Amino acid sequence: MKKTNEVENLTYTIEGKKVAEILGVQNFTTKEAAILELVKNAYDAGSKNLTIHFEADSLFIKDDGEGMTNQDIKESWMHIGKSTRNYYADSAPTRVTAGSKGIGRFALARLGKFVQMRTKKDNHTGVIWKTDWDSNTLELCETQENGTSFLIYGLRDNWSKATVKKLQKYLSIAYNDKYMSIILSKDDFQEEVLPYYSHPQIGNQFVTETNLQYFSNKMMLEVEISSDEFASDAQQYYRDGSIHTKKIALNMKEELQVNRIDLQENISLESCLKNIGDFKASFFFSMGQVSKNDKDTFLYKYDKLKNRYTSGITLYRNAFSISSYEGKKDWLGLSKRASSSPAAASHPSGNWHVRSSQLSGYIMIDKNKNAQLRELSNRQGLEENDHFRLFTEIILSGISVFERYRQSIVRSIKHGTTEDTSSVSTPLIQSIAINPTGIVNLNKKETLALAEEIKDYVQTINRNNQSKDEVIERFRYDTRILNVLATSGLKSASLAHELKNSKNTIIGAPENIESALKKFGMWDELNSPDKTKYFYYNVPLIISNLKESNNKISFFIESMLSDIEKQRFTIIGINLAKSLLDIATKWMEYYKWIKIDIINKDNVDIFDTSEDLLYVIFDNLILNSIQQNEHLNKLSIEITIRLKNSGALLFRYRDDGIGLPEKFIKEPYRIFNSHETNRPNGHGLGMWILKNTLDYCNGKIVDVPTDQKGFSLIFELGELKND
């Protein structure tokens, strides 16, 4: 009889069939995934050649890897959860092993009810292992070839020629290496599995390639774009670089520090970005069938690709894809991004986002370098932890570079090639319209010329109809954003009306409190050193801060109520210098640390526009300068006005603050996209509103200089006329 304090060691008793059911049949959701697991086993065993042959009710898999001994089977193969894999395969030191969980062998159970394995290791006797998942047997055998083969019968799935071809495509995406040849066969079908992205060719499978390389120690993402999407004629319209190439490096700490990514309290953004590890990615962009009208309008080089990539985005850990990230699922959320900002690439102010159906490619991570991107125990995906979420944000930042680059080209082409129907010369059409019977008297040359006129006329009408559709889509997009702003504005205006009635009480309260304290002889005592030692007990300081806050409340009230006065929206000849001085004075009155100078170079006097537009433009610019430089003691702003020969005004706005954030230096026009900001609580709409206002005023952004101290913007403003 055992003593009461005696410790007894226990081991689990495992039912083989139940384990096979859970770790095999249930664990591998598809038959293709089970085959892939066996491919990984062969790869880890150093195999150079793998054959997979399908019969009616059996499956034969054979590799020429290192094989196993009698002892290996007893100590490792039959030991559930035990893995003997190191980082590199023992027999092939150039290969990073795919297995590590010690449960991959149960993929056999997913495929069939009975398995016979024949295996031999160099200088050892061959072995045959058999199982029906209830019982297992082991026997020695005579065989000369090293490696392992499986005969699987009592198949759980039907493998037709069509499903074998489907498996071939699946493996071509899931396996991305050259060290092991895979041959599939079924009846008269026999094909080698070639990596899907083995020979990417621009103009054949895609029109633009975007390569990313992330350096975790520096937290830098290098982006390199190669494009052949547009015809050479497009270069004349794109003045900001080449239509074929673009290179840029992004500081990811700068890019992501304003994103509201909730990290664990004990993890900083910097440490997370560094712990992610280095990785590379390649993305291939293409569209489906391009219409002739679009091809002519946007100068596309191709209307259809012969072998277009359509596999989605695959995530590889070394040689193999990770389950659930094989391109079938939009795991980067590209569709969601596109639906949240549905603007076309030609949209003058909205952000174009690539659709998931337009982008294929892959990301390469490493088992060791990217250890924080942890695989789930069932190999059906990754843990979506802080590192994974930042990992996807880095990738999307790289894709965003491509999106902005392509959109800037499309916008430039659209602006340069858009024609109005009135500009089309149609003398023959007009002649026939006046005298329809004259068509029978046209000679061959005139008939061909008439046909060409009709063709050009139809193309122009189609182009204008497309422009009309894009304008409608643009207004839908803009309206969504402006409705939100308008609702917030109405709430603020309602609050301002209520506060105005109490304005005198609010503004005068600090002065009244101070006077009362002085009257009752308490002021001097409250100013004594022992009463002002701590700021939270420092009554004079609290009153002073209250005065400053009340001044800002007063500024808010006056601004809100004056901004919505009806007369401000009337187009009249306004005194430009006076209006700008009024704007500047208002800001300087409430922000004592800023100084605004108006320089009217050409003494511009009366200018036809509406006052609200000036306020929108310059309020947004001045507010932007204040918010970017609120940590400074003083800030100088200079607004220079010149009159162009066309009658338009040329403005140069300039401050002597910190200038553009680093993330915008190489792409300064990003600031005009909606929701672009470098402040954690910023909405990123100020510069977007400014650009939209300039578009409405027949104006445009001329330049955003980045080679001087502070922030500078040069823009044109056209006159408005009453309808």
Structure tokens at 680: 């954690």
The amino acid at 252: M
* The predicted structure's pLDDT at residue 102: 61
Is residue 5 assigned to a domain? no
Q: Which of 698, 700, 702 is nearest to 712 (CA)?
A: 702
Q: Which of 201, 404, 188, 205 is nearest to 286 (CA)?
A: 205
Looking at 398, 417, 436, which one is the last position of a domain?
A: 417
* The predicted structure's pLDDT at residue 341: 73
Alpha helices (H) along 418-538: 427-434, 444-501, 503-519, 523-526
DSSP assignment of 128-194 equals EEEE-SS-EEEEEE-----EEEEEEEEESS---HHHHHHHHHHHHHHB--SSSEEEEEETTEEEE--
Give the tens place of pLDDT for each residue, 446-467: 677 767 766 666 666 665 555 5
> Does 47 lie in the same domain as 20?
yes
Give the tens place of pLDDT for each residue, 568-598: 446 567 788 888 998 899 888 878 899 999 9
Most confidently predicted of 8-12, 297-301, 555-559 = 297-301
Q: How many domains would you assign to the chain?
A: 4
In which band, very low, low, confident or very high, does the pLDDT at 419 lie, cut at 50, 70 and 90?
very low
Q: Give the rounded percent of residues in the chain with a pLDDT score beyond 70.
A: 76
Is residue 275 assigned to a domain? yes
Distance CA 319, CA 321 (A): 7
Most confidently predicted of 398-407, 436-445, 621-630 = 398-407
Beta bridge partners of 571: 610
Is residue 47 assigned to a domain? yes
* The predicted structure's pLDDT at residue 125: 92
> Does 165 lie in the same domain as 108?
yes
> Does 340 lie in the same domain as 445?
no
In which band, very low, low, confident or very high, does the pLDDT at 422 lie, cut at 50, 70 and 90?
very low
Looking at 487, 508, 531, which one is the last position of a domain?
A: 487
14 or 702, which is more confident: 702
Distance CA 691, CA 672 (A): 6
Is residue 534 assigned to a domain? no
pLDDT of 260 over the 60 cut: no
With a CB cutoff of 8 Å and minimum separation 6, the contacts of 207 are: 227, 228, 229, 285, 286, 287, 301, 302, 305
Q: Which of 599, 611, 687, 607 is nearest to 639 (CA)?
A: 599
pLDDT of 138 over the 80 cut: yes
Of 60-64, 360-364, 417-421, the range with the lowest mean pLDDT is: 417-421
Is residue 248 assigned to a domain? yes
Distance CA 692, CA 238 (A): 21
Is residue 32 assigned to a domain? yes
Structure tokens at 646: 């066309």
CATH number for position 97: 3.30.565.10
> Does 124 lie in the same domain as 239?
no
pLDDT of 625 over the 60 cut: yes
Asked whether the beta carbons of 711 and 656 are under 8 A apart, the reply is no
In which band, very low, low, confident or very high, does the pLDDT at 489 lie, cut at 50, 70 and 90?
low
- Angle, helices 161-174 vs 31-44, to 10°: value is 50
> Does 713 lie in the same domain as 596?
yes
Is residue 557 assigned to a domain? no
Distance CA 641, CA 614 (A): 13
Mean of pLDDT over the chain: 82
pLDDT of 208 over the 90 cut: yes
pLDDT of 275 over the 60 cut: yes
**What are residue 308's phi and psi, to 5 degrees?**
-60, 135
Secondary structure of 483-500 in HEC code, one letter for each residue: HHHHHHHHHHHHHHHHHH
The CB-based long-range contact list for 717-722 (8 Å cut-off, 24+ gap) reads 717/609, 717/617, 717/648, 717/649, 717/651, 718/647, 718/648, 718/649, 719/607, 719/608, 719/609, 719/647, 719/648, 720/571, 720/608, 720/609, 720/610, 720/613, 721/571, 721/608, 722/571
> Does 221 lie in the same domain as 100?
no
The residue range of the domain holding 87 is 16-192
> Residues for the chain: how many in total?
723
pLDDT of 566 over the 50 cut: no
In which band, very low, low, confident or very high, does the pLDDT at 472 lie, cut at 50, 70 and 90?
very low
Q: What is the DSSP letter of 315?
A: E
pLDDT of 498 over the 70 cut: no
Asked whether the beta carbons of 688 and 363 are under 8 A apart, the reply is no
* The predicted structure's pLDDT at residue 121: 92
Structure tokens at 562: 């004056």
> Does 125 lie in the same domain as 67?
yes
Most confidently predicted of 15-24, 416-425, 682-691 = 682-691
- Does the pTM surpass 0.95? The reply is no
CB-CB neighbours of 19 under 10 Å: 15
* The predicted structure's pLDDT at residue 14: 64
For 611-624, give one letter per residue: b (16+ CB within 10 A) or e: bbbbbbbbbbbbeb
Asked whether the beta carbons of 607 and 576 are under 8 A apart, the reply is yes
Asked whether the beta carbons of 83 and 107 are under 8 A apart, the reply is no
pLDDT of 533 over the 80 cut: no
Looking at 384, 417, 450, which one is the last position of a domain?
A: 417
Secondary structure of 628-688 in HEC code, one letter for each residue: HCCCCCCEEEEEEEEECCCCCEEEEEEECCCCCCHHHHCCHHHHHCCCCCCCCCCCCCHHH
> Does 411 lie in the same domain as 425?
no
* The predicted structure's pLDDT at residue 654: 95
